[in-house]
Amino acid sequence: MAITTMIGAKIHRREDPRLVSGEGHYVDDFTRPHTLHLAVVRSPHAHARVKSIDITQASKAAGVVAIYTHKDFAKVLSGTIPVTPSFVAEKNQIPPHFPIADKEVVYQGEPVAVVLAESKYGAADAANLIDVDYEQLPAVMDLEKALDAKSPKVHSGAADNLGWDLTYIPDDVAVMKEADVVIKQRILQQRLAPTPMEPRGVLAEYSRGDGTLTVWMSSQNPHFVRLFLAGAMGLPETRVRVISPDVGGGFGSKISPYSEDWLVPAAAKLSGRPVKWIETRTESLQTTTHGRGMIFDLEAGVKKDGTLVALKVIQYMDIGAYMGTFSAFQANSCLLSGGAYNWKHIGARTVGVLTNRVPTDPYRGAGRPEATHLCERMIDLLADAIKMDPAAIRRKNFITDFPHTSHFGLIYDSGAYEKALEKALQMAGYEKLRKEQEEGRKKGRYLGIGLSSWIEICGFGPSAGTAPATGGIALVEAAQVRVFPTGSVAVYVGTHSHGQGHDTTFPQIVADTLGVPYDMVELHHGDTAEGPAFGYGTYGSRSLAVGGMAVHKASKKVVDKARKLAAHIFEAAEEDVVFEQGQFYVKGSPDKRKALGEIAFASFGMNLPEGMEQSLEAVAYYDPSNFVFPFGTHIAIVEVDPETGNADLKRYVAVDDCGNIINPMIVDGQVQGGIAQGIAQALYEEVAYDDESGQMKTATLTDYLVPTANEFPMFELDHTITPSPTNELGVKGIGEAGTIAASAAVINAIVDALSPFGIKHIDMPASPDRIWKQIQTARGTSHDGKEARR
């Protein structure tokens, strides 16, 4: 590789000038002539029978062009919203999921009818005039009760509510008996709404003349949508073009296809006019897939000297009413449950349970935040039980030899866990904090210090592991590099940037590999009509470790061809041609040089070696040899006011290791945003439903508490760098790291603060109300503050 100049540099993002000027183009900013606006009529009930749909009044409303229900869509759409095998290949049942309900609705917000009107206000008005007669059915809301044979069923007529039940490794009672102390704990993972600031949206245009479909939509994954949509509409992929322009955040919620991704294009086909639908925030909270939604029953054993012995994990996952496309991916909580530590044994079982809620699917971290949370909580509980310092128990049990094969057969590529821990402890001033904590307690101040030594698996992924998980498509990545005659370079990729800054970082890689000026390289993504045949999207912190490597590989193919041509021009043997910082010369004659741009110009001429075709152009598909395993240690410092129950997050220290860094500014930005989402889970956010009716109680941003700038301190960040041996760039992923680490750090800090009250655990969100009540219970006073009778 050429000597690097751009890789590792803090380059300001080239996407920003337009985004700060209001010149970004998100899906709602696109219009087509003669566009109709679509509004969706949704079920107000979590579970009901649809007895009849009366459209008489709505049809007469001003500007209404069409109203479609299940029977209309059944004419142009076939199949079911796909479910990948993911980490649970064998499933008990996968309820068929047509994008619009017919006789039964199974979650609040499920589409029942759509209205097409000349204006969006008109469509919304008419949607309110559609009269649907429902017969309410019992809603299944509780994960444990749902598994009872006598429970009502999420889908009438189903045998049970079980999605899957898979034991990865049976628990081993004999090993657990080797422990001196065994702790049992139930840990809850509340449902979260991903809440990208731009809701979903779809604009579709179907040309009856040539049978082509163009779809503009807010997606992390346009190629997969094209694949699924072509199948559902019976079109060849060549006639379906999906454009995902600027996207206002995804966080996992824009990976999988949704009902509207089918209904809007189908409505365009049925009506013969372009159709646009933009999700409202209430629709987003009610119908965009949620994350988390799990119960973990845990048991962990430790020896008196702090040696970890065994961990037993049972994960109950709230699947929702249908299985999300990548729902079972979140079973990776089991696979990562051992965290950064050596355990003699880990037993793990995942149980997927259907409920009458909106489906869950990946949300930032998707299984790994839950794994970190359960592991780091259990480590603290064990440390507390044997009176060992939380840092010391971690240090004692860290995995130190790499590559490390886990109990589940995963191969951790590289790590230096203690290094990150020590750096974080030093930044936080751990010893001093412990003294302050001790002093504070004497004065009635409750300071807490919480550690989270996290690891994750990302860079999805090697074909051998991912093709079976998706049902056939290996999650490799594709890139095309085109060099124009004057040396400008266009790069087409199958990843999708929606805040991650690929327009900047990928050209940094190309500029170094080709040795051309950064300004001459331009990145293209998000349009299935451009670039290689398939793209695999952006999720699971995969873009750099897989997509960046595809870009690097394609660039190297270009260099290889250019070297052959340079040798021909120099009349030298290929092996004698040196390529250095974008310049070719013959060994021993460094004065006679040709830049890659000059070779590019020559490549379009007539003086080419025998058999060489014109141009410098290459396509590469990169199939990684392994996943990558980033890691780090985060430390949260909180002060809890026992009178109000408020946990004040005073400081937050994070040391992360994502291998080599392409652009440190962007890496820190990813970490900061990730931490904020983890803290948000720990302290604020929860999708709440009424347990009886299944009505969502948090369907606006008044009720669903996305934190503001007031809620966060300035985060203190640093890194260690342990290159990945998995890929030539030595990179891992960083998009989810902050979220994976943060909830455990904050909750560990709160529990640490509350330890003088004898409090051992607190669930999320650790709201003032929840903390206050737990303190009252611990003090033996009732929640109204009066002394409890004993």
Partner 1 sequence: MKHKVATTVNGHPQEHEVEPRLLLVHYLRDVVGLTGTHIGCDTSQCGACTILVDGKAVKSCTMFAVQAEGRNLTTIEGLAHDGQLHPLQQAFWDEHGLQCGYCTPGFIMAAAYLLAQNPNPTDDDIRKGLEGNLCRCTGYVNIIKSVKSAAAMMGGATEKAGERAAAAKRS
Largest CA distance in the chain: 98
Nearest by Cα to 775 from 647, 650, 648, 680: 647
DSSP string across 33-75? TT-EEEEEEE-SSSSEEEEEEE-HHHHHSTTEEEEEEHHHHHH
Least Å from the CB of residue 288 to partner 1: 13
**Residue 15 or 422 with smaller CB distance to partner 1:** 15
Beta-sheet strands, E only, within 530-641: 577-580, 583-586, 589-595, 616-622, 631-641
Least Å from the CB of residue 248 to partner 1: 3
Binding partner 1 (rule: CB under 8 A), the pick from 134, 216, 629, 715 is 715
| Tokens encoding 221 | 């994954």
Least Å from the CB of residue 71 to partner 1: 30
- 124 makes contact with partner 1 (CB under 8 A): no
> Cα(157)–Cα(436) distance, rounded to whole angstroms?
61
For residue 304, report the phi and psi dihedrals to the nearest 5 degrees: -60, -30
Stretch 214-253 residues interacting with partner 1 (CB under 8 A): 246-249, 251
Least Å from the CB of residue 696 to partner 1: 14
Least Å from the CB of residue 12 to partner 1: 4
Half-sphere exposure of 415 (CA within 13 A, CB side): 28
Binding partner 1 (rule: CB under 8 A), the pick from 65, 386, 619, 665 is 665
**Residue 629 or 715 with smaller CB distance to partner 1:** 715
Residue 456 CB contacts under 8 Å (≥ 6 apart), including other chains: 336, 365, 368, 372, 541, 629, 630, 631, 733, 736, 737, 740
Nearest by Cα to 598 from 576, 583, 581: 583
Least Å from the CB of residue 285 to partner 1: 10
Binding mask 494-523 for partner 1 (x = CB under 8 A): ----xxxx----------------------
Stretch 270-289 residues interacting with partner 1 (CB under 8 A): 278, 280-282
Mark 481-513 as b/e (b = at least 16 C-beta within 10 Å): bbbbeebbbbbbbbbbbbbbbbbbbbbbbbbbb
Binding partner 1 (rule: CB under 8 A), the pick from 99, 111, 163, 196 is 196
> Cα(448)–Cα(440) distance, rounded to whole angstroms?
10
Contact call for residues 502 and 734 (beta carbons, < 8 A): no
Least Å from the CB of residue 297 to partner 1: 32
- 126 makes contact with partner 1 (CB under 8 A): no
- 701 makes contact with partner 1 (CB under 8 A): yes
Of 145-153, 369-377, 626-634, 704-712, which part binds partner 1 (CB under 8 A)? 704-712
In terms of C-beta density within 10 A (0-12 exposed, 13-18 middle, 19 or more buried), how is residue 239 classed?
middle
Q: Hey, what amino acid is at 685? A: E
Distance linking the first and last C-alpha atoms of the chain: 74
For residue 146, report the phi and psi dihedrals to the nearest 5 degrees: -60, -30
Least Å from the CB of residue 125 to partner 1: 10
- 24 makes contact with partner 1 (CB under 8 A): yes
Binding partner 1 (rule: CB under 8 A), the pick from 558, 638, 676, 729 is 676
Contact call for residues 716 and 654 (beta carbons, < 8 A): yes
Binding partner 1 (rule: CB under 8 A), the pick from 82, 99, 163, 199 is 199
- 33 makes contact with partner 1 (CB under 8 A): no
- 135 makes contact with partner 1 (CB under 8 A): no
Q: Hey, what amino acid is at 648? A: D
Residue 650 CB contacts under 8 Å (≥ 6 apart), including other chains: 637, 638, 639, 713
**Residue 20 or 149 with smaller CB distance to partner 1:** 20
- 712 makes contact with partner 1 (CB under 8 A): yes
- 672 makes contact with partner 1 (CB under 8 A): yes
Using DSSP, state whether 119 is helix, strand or coil: coil
Least Å from the CB of residue 279 to partner 1: 10
**Residue 20 or 606 with smaller CB distance to partner 1:** 20
Of 61-69, 196-204, 236-244, 555-563, which part binds partner 1 (CB under 8 A)? 196-204
| Tokens encoding 416 | 């230096």
CA 562 to mean position of chain CA atoms: 39
Binding mask 728-767 for partner 1 (x = CB under 8 A): ----------x-----------------------------
- 21 makes contact with partner 1 (CB under 8 A): yes
Of 222-230, 304-312, 378-386, 712-720, which part binds partner 1 (CB under 8 A)? 712-720
Stretch 460-499 residues interacting with partner 1 (CB under 8 A): 498-499
Judged by the rule CB under 8 A, the positions of this chain that interact with partner 1 are 11-17, 19-26, 28-29, 120-121, 195-199, 246-249, 251, 278, 280-282, 498-501, 665-666, 668-670, 672-677, 700-702, 706, 708-710, 712, 714-715, 738
